[in-house]
Amino acid sequence: MSRVLVVGAGLTGGACAAQLRGALRERVTLWDKARGAGGRMSTTRSPWDAACTADLGAQYVTLDPEHAGPRLSFYEELVSHGILKPLTGPVEGMVVKEGSCNYVAPQGISSVVKYYLKQSAGADIFYEQHVTHISLRDGKWEVSRKTGPPEQFDIVILTMPVPQILQLQGDIVNIINETQKQQLESVSYSSRYALGLFYEAGTRIEVPWAAQYITGNPCIRFISIDNKKRNIESPEIGPSVVVHTTVTFGSKYLDSDPAEVQQLILSHLEQVLPSLPQPASIKCQKWRYSQSHFRCIRDTRKTQNHKNWTMSEQTSLDL
């Protein structure tokens, strides 16, 4: 039985581990440098009320029939288990493609990833494992991390953002050929900040929408009344608000002091929603690799085929 390492406990890593365990019964280990699962499909809890949560990463999942193909079964499985439900709350400014369907995760978007990790029962999952080197040793891959001794695996699957792959050291630097390196370097990422505002139970946020795309503001691009978006409004659970910044703002303040960035976002939010109550707590999240733009380049002697993809507030199950 092969020993397989999956690096990254986001959507791709979780689904990959589940597929390996379910179909091939491989011995699977999963490492992630963060303290928990989810990656960009991140759900954060209020420090005062664990029932009050906010999706700081992807906001909803879109099924596009034109590109669904073999992925359709993934959507159907998640819907049948109640992990995903149709997005029914009004989203102002959303561009809806004919035939597409949008879904939300009632228990938070990270529940999608956690579902797949549960399906990978038997896999060894470890967090706070930051991979630094990958080298060949006697026909096996030796993987080093910032803490702990190196370990050897038969197969290594990398699911983290491309810039982090290109930062790895060891034999992997020489194994990636020039064409592959060009393909990887063709991936570019935009950055943004997300703000989660958590409120006490009984607080009312009087807006006619569940989420809204903002135009004309240099800082704020998207606002979600997160519990309303997920259709879980309850007088016993405090509401939460999520704010996503524009890409331009995120790039400009990428390496600024988080406290200063938070205050800037709040000042713009007050202009957009002046009647918003004061929150009980706030979480500021920086997404260095928020939105991806990439070209898949396939060499066919004298020609190249290019395909462009993007990811933003919405996501699809590109597994």
Paired tokens of 75: 């959507």
**pLDDT in the model for residue 23:** 67
CB atoms within 10 A of CB 123: 19
Residue 249, CA atoms < 13 Å, CB-side half-sphere: 21
Cα separations in angstroms, 87 against 75, 91, 164, 242:
14, 9, 33, 16
The low-confidence residues of the chain, meaning pLDDT below 70, are: 23-26, 293-319
**pLDDT in the model for residue 78:** 96
192-238 pLDDT, tens per residue? 999 999 999 999 999 999 999 999 999 999 999 999 999 988 889 99
Residue 21, amino acid: R
| 8 Å CB contact between 206 and 275 | yes
| 8 Å CB contact between 9 and 39 | yes
Nearest to 235 by CA among 201, 280, 277, 207: 201
